[in-house]
Structure 1
Amino acid sequence: MSSPLRRGFMKNWYAVEALPIYAIIGSVLVGGAWYLKRLATGPTVVWTKTNPTPWNTIQPDQGTKIVEVNQKFDKGWSREKL
């Protein structure tokens, strides 16, 4: 038999009314983690000390934008290391 303390815990924490709260909190945590990862791996963030100024290695014929409107470049720029 289960104790009254355990029944009270299960009734309050596993109630059907609490499921939307868990879903909202879970989606907020996942969204926050995704956004922080997106910020940390952006093209302006340098994690290594081998090339502290990556903007100096971009050649004039390389495009660095995701969407290039009215511009044609021979090569696209890519970051070699994170």
Structure 2
Amino acid sequence: MSNSFTKQFRKHWFAVEATPIYVIIGGVCVGASWYLYRLAMGPTIQWTKSNPTPWNSIKPNQTTKMMTVNHQADGKWSRDSL
């Protein structure tokens, strides 16, 4: 009983027709992980031990964008440490 179940499982799970599906799903998972890592380490957010929540240090009138349209702000945001 166990031997026939194993044969049937391997026959359907490791079928040649299913290989492209595994490659595509694996590529999507790797690509999504890379993109999330890229977003987390980008220049807009700085993750340091001294500033674990960088979004809390921005004051109400500061602008964090390089170019703003129809926005009046008194102060400018600067990235002090890298």
Give 1:10-49 correspondences, 5 Å limit.
10-48=10-48, 49=51
Equivalenced residue count is 58
Segments of structure 2 that go 5 or more residues without pairing to the other structure are 59-76
Q: 1:7 — aligned with what?
A: 7
Q: Does 1:55 find its partner at 2:78?
A: yes
RMSD of aligned alpha carbons: 2.4
SS in structure 1 opposite 2:78? helix
SS in structure 2 opposite 1:3? helix
Return closer, same or farther for 1:32/1:18 CA change in 2, 3 Å cut-off: same
Q: Distance in 1 between matches of 2:79 and 2:7?
A: 65
Return closer, same or farther for 1:56/1:39 CA change in 2, 3 Å cut-off: closer
Identity of aligned residues (%): 48
After TM superposition, where is structure 1 displaced by more than 4 Å over at least 4 residues in a row? 50-54
SS in structure 2 opposite 1:55? coil
Q: Distance in 1 between matches of 2:6 and 2:42?
A: 47
